[in-house]
Copies of this chain bind each other. A is one copy, B any other.
Amino acid sequence: MTTLTDVTDGATAKGEQTRELILSTALRLFREQGYGKTTMRAIAAEAGVSVGNAYYYYGSKDHLMQAYYDLLQDQHRAAVEELLAAEKAFVPRMTGVLRTWLEVAAPYHEFAGTFFKTAADPKSPLSPFSEESRPARDAAVDIFRQVVEGSDLKVPADLRAELPELLWLLQMGVVLFWVHDSSDDVRRTRALIDRAVPLVDRLLRLTRIPGVRGVVTDLLGLIHSIKP
């Protein structure tokens, strides 16, 4: 017997399939043709759905990119789960999280180069700093919160509270470097991560020196004051 629930679930499942089909088609076209040149019309045609149907699921190309940010985020979280459960030392936790992101994002490396101009504009909804990107950003910061909280790191409380966001900013710096890294298998970005993380660890340990601590507190205050 087919119940109302079954019908609804069936419709929902089909809806999810269509949604995923539109997103994967869009990402393929973005990669092949670039973000700017790909239209919603072309995405719908390539996915075999009506333009109206495509717009029903995604209000604009920007919404498709936000969906991609969320997808990347989910994949990253799943990929680091085991590491974060097993490892306690800060350096391998942080290094692992950054290196895993490179692996998850690897299929989109070339596309990221063409897309960079759009995301680099702080006024764009697709900037990692925008209000629209908040869900993906919060999810990303939360991974760095896990990196800190599950680790053996010892830093003053005010710095500890800010650290997840600061580590996410460091990741944005790594992503910026990665976008423009044309070395084989992004070797230079890997080297940067391997060298930068132990240095961050040492910088964080310096905050135990009283004279350093005061300056760090004021630096955190300044960072707070310039945040939008």
Q: Contact check, A212 vs B222: say whether CB atoms are below 8 A apart.
A: no
Closest CB of chain B to A90's CB: distance in Å?
Answer: 15
Write 27 A-B pairs (CB below 8 A) sorted by A numbering: A113-B123, A116-B121, A117-B117, A117-B120, A117-B121, A120-B120, A122-B180, A177-B226, A188-B226, A191-B225, A192-B222, A192-B225, A195-B222, A196-B222, A199-B215, A199-B218, A199-B219, A199-B222, A202-B215, A202-B218, A203-B215, A203-B219, A206-B211, A206-B212, A206-B215, A209-B209, A209-B212
A29 to B199, CA, bound (A): 47
Number of copies: 2
Closest CB of chain B to A195's CB: distance in Å?
Answer: 5
What's the tally of chain A residues with a CB closer than 8 Å to chain B? Answer: 28
**Residues on B with beta carbons closer than 8 Å to the beta carbon of A202:** 215, 218
A49 to B103, CA, bound (A): 55
Q: In the complex, which residue of chain B has the Cβ closest to the Cβ of A123?
A: B180
Residues of A participating in the B interface, judged by any CB pair closer than 8 Å: 113, 116-118, 120-123, 177, 180, 188, 191-192, 195-196, 199, 202-203, 206, 209, 211-212, 215, 218-219, 222, 225-226
**Residues on B with beta carbons closer than 8 Å to the beta carbon of A121:** 116-117, 120
A177 to B222, CA, bound (A): 13
Q: Contact check, A192 vs B226: say whether CB atoms are below 8 A apart.
A: yes
Q: Contact check, A212 vs B212: say whether CB atoms are below 8 A apart.
A: yes
